[in-house]
Amino acid sequence: MKFSFKNDYSEGCHPNILQALLQHNLDQQAGYGEDEYSLQAKELIKEKIKNPNSEIYFVSGGTQANLIVISSILRPYQCAVSASTGHILNNETGAIEATGHKILSIEKEDGKLTPEDIIPVLEGHRNVPHQVMPKLVYISNSTELGTIYTLKELEELSNFCKENNLYLFMDGARMGHGLTSEISNLTLEKVAELTDVFYLGGTKNGALIGEAIVINNQELQQDFAFNIKQKGALLAKGRLLGIQFLELMKNDLYFDLAKHANQQAMKIKNAMKEKGVQFLSDTYTNQIFPILSNHLIEKLSEKFEFYVWKKIDEDFSAIRLITSWNTGDEPVNDFIKIIKTEL
């Protein structure tokens, strides 16, 4: 069987999680997120973000988190702003739009938004009340392109949002990877301080399923649980999510797993760089986008699965490689060996 570099959710879950699920399998627990594991996991997350006033809610997936957060925050005439590469724009089947909210797209190659990108959007929506009202800025860390925000960039964006009465929402489907990148100077505590809402993705970082939505802005906490239930996302067996996040948060397993995934990607990236390979974006997380000849892509495809991301010209394409919490050295070394012999 070919080894897959297609995704960071190709495997099941970290063994600690399976063990905990088995260990607590027959315990009787309260339903709908009131179980003791969920309560403990929430406390651990609050400790890590150093904000006892944040509220935490577990849901099962990223699209669900984005949909519930955005649709519950916005009034009917308000809209979200996103980089053109944003997951909510391209890969969620119009889930946000289906709730009646427009998403204004800002063309960005690197997947990141700055205040300068958003200013023209605000200026272009001053014809009150004839246009939708931009109210929420959607960003992700790491982004769809594996890029990350620096502390300064997030501070600038956060200040800009406050000055302009906009909510800042960070999609953290790959938060662990973003924060443990070798070039990141952002911490979870800072993310909590600088955003109104963010989430910690478990699905792509060693959980079976699950994302932890963290609401820092107390105005937005009110009645949030009703939105979760109404969207069908409140699991009767919420213990499944609680146990997983408890294990991930204990001893920083969450960050260790993400760091491992990043390191495996960096090994491949560095080996390619030594051979002069160019990349679609200069990433330091578990997603890399090398530009390779179609001949080499064919050769690599004999042993590995990955996505061909973008055609560059007749002879070259960018591929996307994603490593996971469970990517071992063997496939990484085998991949590098082919690169070294073919280039």
- Nearest-approach distance from CB 335 to ligand PLP, in angstroms: 22
- Nearest-approach distance from CB 275 to ligand PLP, in angstroms: 29
- Please give the Cα distance from 102 to 180 (Å, whole number): 33
Tokens of 338: 């082919």
- Whichever of 138 and 160 has its CB closer to ligand PLP, that residue is 138
Quickly count: other Cβ atoms within 10 Å of residue 1's Cβ: 4
Name the segment binding ligand PLP (CB under 6 A); options: 61-69, 120-128, 232-240, 246-254: 61-69
Whether the Cβ atoms of residue 136 and residue 81 lie closer than 8 Å to each other: yes
- Whichever of 162 and 310 has its CB closer to ligand PLP, that residue is 310
- Please give the Cα distance from 201 to 61 (Å, whole number): 8
- Please give the Cα distance from 229 to 168 (Å, whole number): 23
For 219, which DSSP code? G
- Please give the Cα distance from 140 to 200 (Å, whole number): 11
By the rule CB under 6 A, 63 interacts with ligand PLP: yes
Name the segment binding ligand PLP (CB under 6 A); options: 16-24, 36-44, 60-68, 266-274: 60-68
- Nearest-approach distance from CB 342 to ligand PLP, in angstroms: 30
Per CB under 6 A, the list member of 55, 171, 196, 247 interacting with ligand PLP is 171
- Nearest-approach distance from CB 308 to ligand PLP, in angstroms: 17
Phi, psi (rounded to 5 degrees) for 83: -65, 150
Name the segment binding ligand PLP (CB under 6 A); options: 56-64, 69-77, 117-125, 222-230: 56-64
Per-residue binding letters, 306-325, with ligand PLP (x by CB under 6 A) = --------------------
Name the segment binding ligand PLP (CB under 6 A); options: 59-67, 115-123, 245-253, 261-269: 59-67
Tell which residue, 11, 54, 40, has the closest CA to residue 214: 54
Q: Check residue 251 and give left, alpha or beta (phi > 0: left; psi -120 to 50: alpha).
A: left
By the rule CB under 6 A, 62 interacts with ligand PLP: yes
Q: Strands 278-279 and 197-201, how do they pair?
A: unpaired
By the rule CB under 6 A, 173 interacts with ligand PLP: yes
Per CB under 6 A, the list member of 72, 147, 180, 203 interacting with ligand PLP is 203
Q: Which residue type does 232 have?
A: G
Vertex 186: Cα angle to 180 and 192 (nearest 5): 110
Angle between helices 36-49 and 239-249 (to 10 degrees): 40
- Nearest-approach distance from CB 343 to ligand PLP, in angstroms: 30
Tell which residue, 73, 87, 103, 101, has the closest CA to residue 165: 73
Per-residue binding letters, 107-136, with ligand PLP (x by CB under 6 A) = ------------------------------
Vertex 159: Cα angle to 213 and 155 (nearest 5): 70
Per-residue binding letters, 68-97, with ligand PLP (x by CB under 6 A) = -------------------x----------
- Whichever of 108 and 336 has its CB closer to ligand PLP, that residue is 108
Name the segment binding ligand PLP (CB under 6 A); options: 35-43, 57-65, 75-83, 285-293: 57-65
For 10, which DSSP code? S
Residues that bind ligand PLP (CB under 6 A): 61-63, 66, 87, 140, 144, 171, 173, 203
